[in-house]
């Protein structure tokens, strides 16, 4: 059986890949390889951190942080990589804010009040904007499986 953490991550990946798919449909879970030259954009969803907040009637309530990394490659060395990732970041933000908790198997979805930017300089610079979301969900006290 899959844990709630992996189930929620898979649902986030599916929501980002749903038509119209973001980043040309290149949406991955836990990818660690660099952006291939032929790709101008892709998304990676990672489970960042999980903390049980309370126990209620035999269930643990969790707040799990998921990082959504939006990568975009500039077409030339002189291009501003942060400007290149900007449109993808805006699309991710809109998609995340349109998510319904029930579709992810969670009770609540919150965006964190911050976005991190990273830039990798090169012939065609790559920028990454990392948006974090917090999903509140529940598991049985004796299991990490999702609750039905």
**How many angstroms separate the CA atoms of 85 and 79, rounded?**
11
**Range of lowest pLDDT (37-41, 66-70, 134-138, 140-144):** 37-41
Element (H, E) at 117: strand 108-120
What is the share, in percent, of the chain residues with pLDDT greater than 70? 99
127: Cα separation from own chain's centroid: 16
Q: How far is CA 79 from CA 35, 52, 85, 90, 128, in A?
A: 17, 43, 11, 19, 14
53-74: pLDDT as tens digits: 888 899 999 999 999 999 998 8
**DSSP output for 16-43:** HHSSSPGGGG-EEES--SPPPTT-SEEE
For residue 120, give both structure tokens.
Answer: 């990798």
pLDDT tens digits, 104-137 = 999 999 987 789 999 887 777 889 999 999 999 9
**Whole-number pLDDT of residue 85:** 93
Global confidence as pTM: 0.92
Number of CB atoms found within 10 A of residue 43's CB: 29
Asked: is 4-132 a CATH 3.30.499.10 domain? The reply is no
């Amino acid at each position: 059986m899959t844990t709630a953490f992996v189930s929620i991550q898979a649902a986030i990946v599916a929501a980002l890949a749903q038509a119209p798919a973001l980043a040309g449909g290149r949406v991955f879970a836990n990818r660690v390889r660099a952006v291939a030259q032929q790709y101008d954009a892709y998304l990676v969803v990672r489970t960042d951190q999980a903390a049980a907040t309370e126990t209620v009637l035999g269930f643990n309530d969790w707040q799990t942080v998921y990082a959504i990394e939006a990568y975009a490659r500039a077409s030339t060395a002189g291009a501003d990589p942060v400007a290149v990732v900007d449109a993808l970041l805006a699309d991710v933000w809109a998609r995340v804010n349109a998510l319904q908790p029930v579709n992810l198997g969670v009770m609540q979805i919150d965006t964190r009040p911050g976005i991190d930017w990273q830039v990798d300089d090169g012939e065609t610079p790559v920028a990454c904007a990392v948006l974090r979301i917090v999903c509140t969900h529940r598991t049985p006290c004796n299991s990490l499986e999702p609750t039905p």
